[in-house]
Structure 1
Amino acid sequence: MKQILAAAAMVLVPGAALADDEIVTRGSEFTVAQTVDKLTAAIEEAGATVFAVVDHGAGAESVGEDIGASQLVVFGNPAIGTPAILDNRQAGLFLPLKVLVYQNEGGQVMVAYEDPEEMFDDLGNIDDDAEYIAKMSGALENFVTAASE
């Protein structure tokens, strides 16, 4: 059953099967909650909008499972994301941006996000050198650094 669900996720969820180089991951010195607080503060301070924080850990607990603390921060800035969508409407599948903060199996708090250049790689009309990709990459790096150190 798990194999069927994993296969379905890869078909239904954009980016569900990602190569290791497409996901940028780093450790955090803080708890998941502290890291998420620092991340959302950095995002808002930069003028972007936090649209949602999805608590995967609480969701798992609601069905009797324990995946540890895990929260997905969904955020964006239309001034940066809209040009990507203008270049290819399907870019909207990948936006707004997302950062996952989670406790791995060893108990280490990790912060992960999809590399914007790789995220849009299979979409036509989006140049790897597009200014908005550089802005997204820089913002993600800055936010994650602020949240994890």
Structure 2
Amino acid sequence: MEYTIQTSVIGEFDDVVDATIAALEDEGFGVLCDIDIQATLDEKLGEEFRRYRILGACNPPLAYEGLNEEIELGALLPCNVIVYETDDGEVMVSAVDPQQLVGIADNEALDSIANEVHERFERVLDSVADELEPSSEN
């Protein structure tokens, strides 16, 4: 089952992260947390890992609307967007597919919110790909 939507670009990793954060902000999302997996695994385990960041993105009006429909929705928030290096030198930007995510809540009142977040994440990915050089996969 596909549970993310994604794009792959060619560019400097930090530039892709910055472009992703800017595109999220343009769509009304704030980044509530920014987890550097590479640094965390090095610090906690002494293990090397590719550059990999998890951005916890939240759109407050949509989160508010969703929480009013389903109080337990907070367990699925914020929506994660990941940026990581691939083995072939590209940078992948991948967002959780909110339609899949809220599907587990089995609450039809969340469908329109999930659709809205999905459309916004699609525009975020398109914006990143437009700003940077898309890979041949896109």
The interval holding the TM-score normalised by the smaller chain is 0.7 to 0.9
Q: Which residue of the partner structure matches residue 37 of structure 2?
A: 56
**Structure 2 gap ranges (5+):** 131-138
Aligned-pair identity (%): 21
Q: Is 1:45 matched up with 2:26?
A: yes
1:1-149 aligned at under 5 Å gives the runs: 19=1, 21-62=2-43, 63-127=45-109, 130-149=111-130
How large is the RMSD of aligned CA atoms in angstroms? Answer: 1.8
Amino acid at match of 1:84: G
Q: What is the TM-score with the length of structure 1 in the denominator? A: 0.76
Contact 1:56 1:69 in 2 (8 A): yes
What displacement does 1:131 show?
Answer: 2.3
Greater than 4 Å deviation, 4+ residue runs = none
- Determine which structure has the larger strand proportion and give its number: 2
Give secondary structure in 2 for the equivalent of 1:118. helix
Q: What is the TM-score with the length of structure 2 in the denominator? A: 0.82
What displacement does 1:127 show?
Answer: 4.4
What displacement does 1:68 show?
Answer: 0.8
Deviations 1:6-57 (A, max 9, x none): xxxxxxxxxxxxx3x1122321222321111001112223333221211111
Contact 1:35 1:148 in 2 (8 A): no
Aligned partners of 1:108, 1:46: CA distance in 2, in Å? 24
